[in-house]
């Protein structure tokens, strides 16, 4: 998962401001109201940042690490990408990482490419699920026509809303049986404001 360096910087900077305001108030150099503002204003700024959509909650690739995506078929294709032959239908060819998420609005973006664009066959189904796959939060079927160019990565977003905290959210790719080569570079998750 990517580190959110912006949030880490904001927390560090606001902590320093709050400690400085507290020390000045104890020394009698400023009013106690400034201490309250030094805690309240940063809280709302951090909350706005986390809900803005700029906050990336994670990015996962297919790897042997259990905190990443896993695959039951296919092979690595370099640069952390994973290649699937879609000729054989396979439920959840790629799945994971069973990530806990707090309630709110999210967008999971699957970055995929396909090897050729002839026809309009169903190629894959991407989805987001929770509770060991029993609760599907978002799903999208992909056909060859959904891809603009062959051998070029394209983002496929899936927006979903959690009404309660979920402990094991997973991102899955299933193949549909069309004879194509599909490559997943990564799945990225971000919070949404609206």
pTM above 0.85, yes or no: no
Does the pLDDT of residue 4 top 60, yes or no? no
Band of pLDDT at residue 2, cut at 50, 70 and 90: very low
Instruction: State whether CATH 2.60.120.260 applies to domain 59-191.
Output: yes
Band of pLDDT at residue 193, cut at 50, 70 and 90: low
- Span 110-118, mean pLDDT? 94
Does the pLDDT of residue 192 top 50, yes or no? yes
Does the pLDDT of residue 89 top 80, yes or no? yes
Residue 80: predicted pLDDT: 82
Task: For the chain, give the DSSP string.
Answer: ----HHHHHHHHHHHHHHHHHHHHHHTTSS-HHHHHHHHHHHHHHHHHHHHSS--EEEEE-B-SSTTSBEESS-EEEETTEEEEETTS-EEEEEE-EEEEE-SEEEEEEEEEEES---S--EEEEEEEEETTTTEEEEEEEEEGGG-SSTTS-EEEEEEEEESS-EEEEEEEEEE-S-S-EEEEEEEEEEE---
- Span 127-154, mean pLDDT? 95
Band of pLDDT at residue 1, cut at 50, 70 and 90: very low
Q: Which carries the bigger pLDDT value, residue 93 or residue 119?
A: 93
């Amino acid at each position: 998962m990517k580190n959110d360096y912006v949030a880490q910087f904001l927390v560090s900077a606001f902590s320093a401001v709050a400690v400085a305001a507290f020390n000045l108030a104890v020394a009698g150099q400023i009013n106690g109201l400034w201490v309250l503002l030094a805690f309240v204003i940063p809280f709302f700024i951090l909350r706005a940042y986390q809900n803005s959509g700029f906050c990336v909650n994670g990015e996962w690739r297919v790897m042997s690490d259990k905190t990443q995506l896993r695959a039951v078929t296919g092979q690595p294709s370099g640069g952390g990408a994973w290649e699937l032959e879609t000729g054989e239908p396979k439920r959840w060819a790629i799945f994971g990482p069973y990530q806990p998420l707090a309630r709110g609005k999210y967008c999971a973006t699957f970055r995929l490419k396909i090897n050729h664009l002839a026809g309009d066959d169903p190629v894959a189904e991407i989805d987001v699920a929770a509770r060991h796959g029993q609760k599907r939060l978002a799903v999208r079927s992909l056909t060859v026509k959904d891809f603009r160019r062959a051998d070029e990565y394209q983002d496929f977003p899936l927006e979903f809303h959690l009404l309660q905290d979920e402990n094991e959210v997973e991102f899955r790719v299933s193949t549909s049986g069309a004879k194509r080569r599909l490559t997943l570079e990564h799945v990225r998750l971000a919070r949404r404001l609206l």
